């Protein structure tokens, strides 16, 4: 696989971004971690990671003046972008966490898990769980249905358009665990922590 010199991992102060960079380095992919507008403009592909509070994350993006450039590069210039965990949630219209509007790229809301059997289903949802492949996507090339990936989250997306959903996962009930609309991809799980399956998903994104 060739080396890509223009994969920008957006640094807006939320989450463990270096583990993503390390995993991509294993795939011979050169990345930069940056919050600079020019680095997002120059990117061939963009990764929007994140762990933490939705409202705080949106505040950080606004304070860094990154929302306009992300909208331009993703919605107008159609650059491939991958949102990971909170990064996927930020692509929704709204989140209960902070009662905050998101980027609005997907017709979706972010809600807290509403678990009844709290003995068997703890919140946050942490650890390995299966992904159901709801529809074919290039992000899922060579990924088997019911593969296990690693999750850490208390909130999840409710996608209103079924055609946007590429993965679902059961945790007491079925929730959306990956989405795609055109050049925009999001995964609720952490591919950088999901061993061979996660590496394949990252490889698929780089090779889009």
Contacts of 104 (CB under 8 A, 6+ apart): 91, 92, 93
HSE (side-chain half, CA atoms, 13 Å) at 171: 29
The residue annotated as part of the active site, out of 73, 109, 134, 192, is: 192
The residue annotated as part of the active site, out of 73, 85, 153, 156, is: 85
The residue annotated as part of the active site, out of 125, 153, 156, 190, is: 190
* 85 part of the active site: yes
* 130 part of the active site: no
* 190 part of the active site: yes
Residues with a catalytic annotation lie at 85, 190, 192
């Amino acid at each position: 696989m060739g080396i890509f010199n223009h994969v920008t991992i957006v640094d807006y102060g939320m989450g463990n971004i270096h583990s993503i960079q390390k995993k991509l380095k294993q795939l011979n992919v050169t990345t930069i971690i940056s919050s600079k507008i020019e680095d997002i403009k120059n990117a061939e592909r963009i990764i929007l990671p994140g762990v933490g509070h939705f409202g705080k994350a949106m505040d950080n993006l606004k304070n860094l003046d990154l929302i306009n450039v992300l909208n331009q590069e993703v919605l107008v210039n159609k650059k491939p972008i991958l949102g990971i965990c909170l990064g996927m949630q930020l692509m929704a219209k709204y989140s209960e966490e902070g009662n905050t509007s998101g980027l609005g790229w997907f017709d979706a809301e972010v809600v807290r898990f509403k678990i009844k059997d709290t003995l068997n289903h703890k919140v946050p949802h942490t650890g390995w769980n299966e992904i159901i492949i709801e529809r074919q996507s290039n992000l899922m090339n060579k990924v088997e249905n019911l593969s296990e990936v690693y999750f850490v989250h208390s909130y999840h997306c409710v996608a209103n358009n079924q055609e946007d959903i590429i993965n679902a996962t059961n945790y007491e009930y079925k929730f959306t665990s990956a989405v795609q609309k055109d050049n925009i991809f999001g995964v609720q799980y952490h591919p950088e922590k999901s061993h061979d399956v996660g590496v394949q998903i990252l490889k698929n994104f780089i090779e889009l």
